Amino acid sequence: MTVKKNQTKSYHHGNLRRVLIDTALEIISEQGAKDISLRQVAQRAGVSHTAPYRHFKDKNAILAAVAKEGFDMMLAQTEDRIAGNKGNELDHFAICGLSYIDFASKYPSHYRVMFGTRSDDSYFSDEFKPESIPVFQLLRDKIKICQKKGLLKAGDLHHMAMAAWSIVHGFAMLRIDHHIPDQETDEKKLRELQQTVVLTLFYGLRPE
């Protein structure tokens, strides 16, 4: 989802917002999101320092746009994988976890912004609370269905969803921060490891 530097001059065709977001993602991939600024984005994109303000009032606004885009992409990816799977609800629950990890691995810049540090002056609003994020609600729904069918143990739905989220998020962060040992980075071994992570989650939530 990033653009090459020699592509950014195309903003005059009406896609300035897209170019700014892609340029922000490029910068985030290099230095993180903490010190990014609209002036820096404008300079990298090859536009005037005032141009970004046509679409974003400040740094937080462009980071919020990146986060929103990431959540939308993650939801679409997960729903597509579920739609293409002929398994039962437990399989769909597993897909939620695997899709989460795969998204983080493929779009680490989006992911870091989606789950950046919250503070009173950050870009996170009520729109980004767990109960407001559709992909998190999808996970809750799959757990709820599995509970009703006896595929997962009974228990507090929110707590179980948070536990599932914590496990896959932890693995995703280890993956994109390169803490997974080199011998695990082979595609086949990595896929097996991801399956093990999700299966471990299953065993913990299965009925006694």
Tally of CB atoms within 10 A around 26: 19
Structure-token pair, residue 145: 């269905």
pLDDT at 146 over 80: yes
Residues near 85 by beta carbon (within 8 Å), at least 6 away in sequence: 91, 92, 95
**Predicted confidence (pLDDT) per residue in 93-115, tens digit:** 989 988 999 999 999 999 999 99
Top-confidence residue, 151 or 2: 151
Q: Examine residue 89 and state whether it is found in any structural domain, yes or no.
A: yes
Top-confidence residue, 28 or 207: 28
Q: Are residues 130 and 175 in the same domain?
A: yes
**In the 8-state DSSP scheme, what is residue 21?**
H
**Predicted confidence (pLDDT) per residue in 33-66, tens digit:** 988 999 999 999 999 999 999 999 999 999 999 9
**In the 8-state DSSP scheme, what is residue 154?**
-
Give the 3-state DSSP-derived string for 63-122, with helices as H, strands as E and coil as C: HHHHHHHHHHHHHHHHHHHHHCCCCCHHHHHHHHHHHHHHHHHHCHHHHHHHCCCCCCCC
Q: Are residues 29 and 89 in the same domain?
A: no
Top-confidence residue, 133 or 190: 133
pLDDT for residue 14: 66
Q: Are residues 117 and 76 in the same domain?
A: yes
pLDDT for residue 185: 61
pLDDT at 9 over 60: no
Q: Examine residue 59 and state whether it is found in any structural domain, yes or no.
A: no
> How much is the mean pLDDT over the chain?
85
Residue listed under structure tokens 């109960």: 131
Q: Are residues 49 and 70 in the same domain?
A: no
Could you tell me the residue range of the domain that residue 178 belongs to? 66-205
pLDDT at 183 over 80: no
Q: Are residues 50 and 133 in the same domain?
A: no
Q: Are residues 45 and 84 in the same domain?
A: no
Instruction: Provide the CATH number for the domain around residue 36.
Output: 1.10.10
pLDDT for residue 88: 87
Q: Examine residue 60 and state whether it is found in any structural domain, yes or no.
A: no
Domain count, the chain: 2
Q: Are residues 32 and 106 in the same domain?
A: no
Residue 142 and residue 92 in contact, taking contact as beta carbons nearer than 8 Å: yes
Longest dimension (CA), the chain: 62
Residue 51 and residue 42 in contact, taking contact as beta carbons nearer than 8 Å: yes
